[in-house]
Amino acid sequence: MDATVAVPDKSAPKMRRGGPFNDPFFGNLFDTTQMIEKQVTLKSEDEEIEVRPLPTEGRPEGFSGAVGEFQFDSAQIPGDWKTGEPQQITSQLSGSGNFALMKAPTLTPADGWKSYPGKDQFRAHEETSFSGSKIFQFNAVPRKGGDQDASLAFSYFDPNAGAYKTITSPEQKIRVTGEDMAAEEPAATPAAKEPEKKKTDELVAQRRNPSPASTLIPLVSRQAFGEMLGTSAGLCLLGAALAVVRRRRHDPLRTAKAALAKDTREALDQAGAARDGAAFFSAGRLAIQRQLGALWNQPPQAITSSEVRARLGEESPVVRFFHEADVLEYSRGGSGEVLPQWRSLLDEALASLTPSTR
């Protein structure tokens, strides 16, 4: 236990005394020693204690765990009742013990009543709350009609006597009108349902006893296996084809190339209809430059005739198309009818521009 005590202050200077009063007899009377407070912990000597469990022999059915000594102070039970209709009962017990484990007393006879949980209130008689009183209030319903004797019963364990005790309140005469209520029977436990057989179990059972003829035919030789395999392969091919079509349809590069090819064809057709050779070679040159730019990874406008000649060689149809374009531009002034051989040369040049071209 922690405590605060007063002890002499040894660090304070001592006063010198002389004369006739410098005698042990007057020491306490004229002692001027200064005192200071000090926190200390007080501890008693250890002692062994024995904790014994509550006995199971002789334990009453209504025992709720109360240990100590208790008695009834009052019990208020209404005198007039009707079967099936609840009324409030009030009682008070007092004594010493563990009031926290005390439960409400029960009505007797127990088979004639049905009680419901209520409320309680504890009043301590001293600081440790070891002794006091507790008031219980709860509702109850009578099961049987007629004139009866009713009382309250409370069970506890008396540590001094080392035995269980049951105390009862004074019996009261009550009158209950109405017919007797049917006794409550414990709810019957539903019988466990037999699990339903699943179709898979039936299939398994059928497979366990196959016909002798079916077991001799290899699985790969059965017609159903071939049909299933063919269907699976067809579905796989169909899925792959749909995936390719979907990728091509949504490929931005492919879309851009298609748009450029369309523009090139329109420009070439317009040049042919207008009999404009210069416009034809200009559109053809641009188409070839775009194709080479994609292959060589450089801007189309940066590709010149000299670079094409150096990388593809003099015999390349691309070089020959560029040469014809230069000849037409410098000799005829950029005008003239589009000749069939020019169209053939352009088709040959575009066809030669494959991914293997360097």
For 97, 271, 276, 347, the CA distances from 285, given in Å and listed in that order, are 112, 13, 14, 12
Counting beta carbons within 10 angstroms of the beta carbon of residue 40, is it exposed (0 to 12), middle (13 to 18) or buried (19 or more)? exposed
Model pLDDT, residue 170: 95
Backbone angles phi, psi at 247, to 5 degrees: -65, -40
What are the structure tokens assigned to 59, written together? 């334990």
Model pLDDT, residue 13: 65
User: Using one digit for the tens of pLDDT, what is the confidence trace for 215-255?
Assistant: 556 665 666 766 777 787 778 788 777 776 676 665 555 66
Please give the full DSSP string across 301-327, using - where no structure is assigned. Answer: GG--HHHHHHHH-TT-HHHHHHHHHHH
> How far is residue 136's CA from residue 288's CA, in Å, rounded to a whole number?
105
- 16-20, 138-142, 198-202: which has the minimum mean pLDDT? 198-202
User: Using one digit for the tens of pLDDT, what is the confidence trace for 110-168?
Assistant: 889 999 999 999 999 988 888 999 999 999 999 999 999 999 999 999 999 999 999 99
pLDDT band at 72 (very low <50, low <70, confident <90, very high): very high
Backbone angles phi, psi at 108, to 5 degrees: -125, 145
The model's pTM is 0.43
User: Using one digit for the tens of pLDDT, what is the confidence trace for 85-104?
Assistant: 999 999 999 999 999 888 99
Of the candidates 275, 278, 281, 267, the one whose C-alpha atom is nearest the C-alpha of residue 320 is: 281
**Domains along the chain?**
68-177 (2.60.120.570), 252-352 (no CATH)
Counting beta carbons within 10 angstroms of the beta carbon of residue 135, is it exposed (0 to 12), middle (13 to 18) or buried (19 or more)? middle
> How far is residue 230's CA from residue 183's CA, in Å, rounded to a whole number?
72
Of the candidates 356, 286, 270, 273, the one whose C-alpha atom is nearest the C-alpha of residue 322 is: 286
Question: In b/e form, how buried is each residue of 268-285, taking b as 16+ CB within 10 angstroms?
Answer: beebbeeebbbbbbbbbb
pLDDT at 357 over 50: no
pLDDT at 210 over 80: no
Model pLDDT, residue 93: 95
Q: Please name the residues in contact with 130: beta carbons below 8 A apart, sequence gap of 6 or more.
A: 96, 97
For 116, 167, 322, 351, the CA distances from 304, given in Å and listed in that order, are 104, 120, 9, 19
